[in-house]
Structure 1
Amino acid sequence: MKHAVVLQHVAFEDLGTLHPLLLAQGWQLQVLQAGVDALDPAEAADLLVVLGGPISVNDVDLYPFLDDSIALLQRRLLQQRPTLGICLGAQLMARALGAQVAPSGGKEIGFSPLLLTDEGQRSPLLALQGIPVLHWHGEVFELPAGARRLASTPACRHQAFAIGHHALALQCHPELDARQFERWLIGHTLELAQAGIDPSDLRAQARRYGAPLAAAATAMFSQWLQELSETAR
């Protein structure tokens, strides 16, 4: 059975719609809590998924476990082991590859479609074209050396990158299960208040876009996992 390790930072930012897809494809899932659990199981996992969270990759003095996560990602990416990063996970991947992560000067929170690059049009992200996806971040990453830029938004030039077929980094949240979105609104209540964002607006967007996003994300992740399987043969 294929072994996938999931590195989780907060309980409500989970695998979302990626969870049933991985189970259906026969993956054995092991969830590690960042800053609590030892990362040893992630070293040789067939797939590592690093999820989002509200902290910054630059907060290593406040959260020393980030150094361990970055070192783990450096080793896996050097070995070309399958790795998927979402939001904070994507930023950690960028940092592990030597790229800068810094505040963007504002918050990008809400649903909007990605603008795919030519590389993105030839990637699994094509399934997301025209589909509003959830964005929730205040920091951005530079493009690591050797990475292919796949997507952007007007507020964020680097929304996704890939390296080979083994590494995919997504600043946005295509994995969102809109049926669980209220957990996000509760968990991020202070951030929303500070940003002057009405949770009822986000709630309405999730109701409108949740189902098409789930279908598109399942297609996108399915194709990426299929390409992983083909390159591993």
Structure 2
Amino acid sequence: MKRALIIRHVPHEGVAAYREPIEAAGFEVDRVDVADPRFAALDLREPDLLIMMGGSMGVYEQYQHPWIACQLRRLKTRLEADRPTLGVCFGAQMIAAALGAEVYAGPFKEVGFHPVTLSDTAIDSPLRHLTDVPILHWHGDTFTLPNGVELLASSHVYDHQAFRRGPNLLALQFHAEMGEDERFNAWIEEWPQAIVEAGGTEADLRRAHDRHGPGAVAAGRKMIAEWIEGLVA
């Protein structure tokens, strides 16, 4: 059976709704936390599919989190081998950094449900399932676009919301995996100030989650299922 490895950077940011299409595609899903002692010894080139999820840290905070530099080195070797890799939020920023881009703190927090605008090249990509669908955004960092990739999506807050390189690499700044997962409550409890800094309120965000969450998850699952179908071993 094909093996998918999820790298979890914080306990409350898992693969959520993306698990269903990953398992439906025949992958046995395993997970490792960066705090796990065995993480430092893993060869990230080995899994048939690598999924890196979000986190509250910044790629540039390597002094506080030494594992970031270690993970970037091993991620770079995987990307050089063009092994199937998906990055979400912090995971997408890690991909950007491994490809030589700059990751930095942006001027605004982007927290809430709203659609992304697809680029011309994304219209025929798996991201087309997200057309006009409000999806969850929750970040304050952004990145320059790496060389050799295609920009797939932007938002009214940040230009770089998704990119790909060929069929095997997909980086998503947003959270189309979230909308029905109870860990959303942990996000609110963990980062209430981010909601305020983005100009929202907890009550409004919860209402948006109830209204848009199921649609976001349905679209996100279709997107990931189609992307996995197009992977090249």
Same fold (TM over 0.5): yes
Counterpart of 1:71 in structure 2 is 73
Greater RCO, CA 8 A, separation 6+:
2
Contact 1:127 1:219 in 2 (8 A): yes
Question: 1: distance between equivalents of 2:210 and 2:44?
Answer: 35
- One-letter amino acid of the counterpart of residue 139, structure 1: D
Taking only aligned residues, the RMSD between alpha carbons, in angstroms, comes to 1.4
**5 Å matches for 1:130-169?**
130-169=132-171
Task: Give the 3 Å change call, closer, same or farther, for CA 99–76 of structure 1 in structure 2.
Answer: same
- Residue-pair matches, total: 230
Query: TM-score, with normalisation over the residues of structure 1?
Result: 0.94
State the Cα distance separating 1:145 from its structure 2 match: 0.3
What residue is the counterpart of 1:94 in the other structure? 96
Name 2:10's counterpart in structure 1: 10
State how far apart, in whole Å, the 1-side matches of 2:43 and 2:4 are: 9
Amino acid corresponding to residue 103 of structure 1 in structure 2? A
The counterpart of 1:60, out of the listed 50, 59, 62, is: 62
What does the per-residue CA deviation read over 1:7-59, in whole Å, with 9 as the maximum and x for residues that have no partner?
00112211111112222222111111014342515331000000001000000
Correspondent of 1:109 among 111, 118, 125: 111
**Cα displacement (A) at 1:82:** 0.3
Aligned letter for 2:39? Answer: A
In 2: Cα distance, 1:208 partner to 1:41 partner: 41
Aligned: 1:214 with 2:217? yes
Q: Structure 1, unaligned stretches of length 5 or more?
A: none
| Residue identity in the other structure for 2:123 | Q
- Residues 111 and 194 of structure 1: CA distance in aligned 2, closer, same or farther (over 3 Å): closer
In structure 1, how many angstroms separate the alpha carbons of the residues matched to 2:157 and 2:197?
A: 19
Equivalent residues of 1:133, 1:172 under 8 A apart: yes
* Alignment gaps of 5+ in structure 2: none
User: Where has structure 1 moved over 3 Å in runs of 4 or more?
Assistant: 190-197
Identity of aligned residues (%): 36
- Structure 1: how far apart are the matches of 2:209 and 2:145? 29
* 177-186 or 121-130, which deviates more: 177-186
Instruction: Name the aligned partner's letter for residue 209 of structure 1.
Output: H
Post-superposition offset of 1:91: 0.3
Give the whole-Å Cα distance in 1 for the aligned partners of 2:198 and 2:134: 21
Q: Which shows bigger deviation, 63-72 or 178-187?
A: 178-187
What do the CA deviations read for 1:179-227 (whole angstroms, capped 9, x no partner)? 4221221222344356564211111111000111111111110100000
Correspondence for 1:38: 39
Residue aligned with 1:185, SS? helix
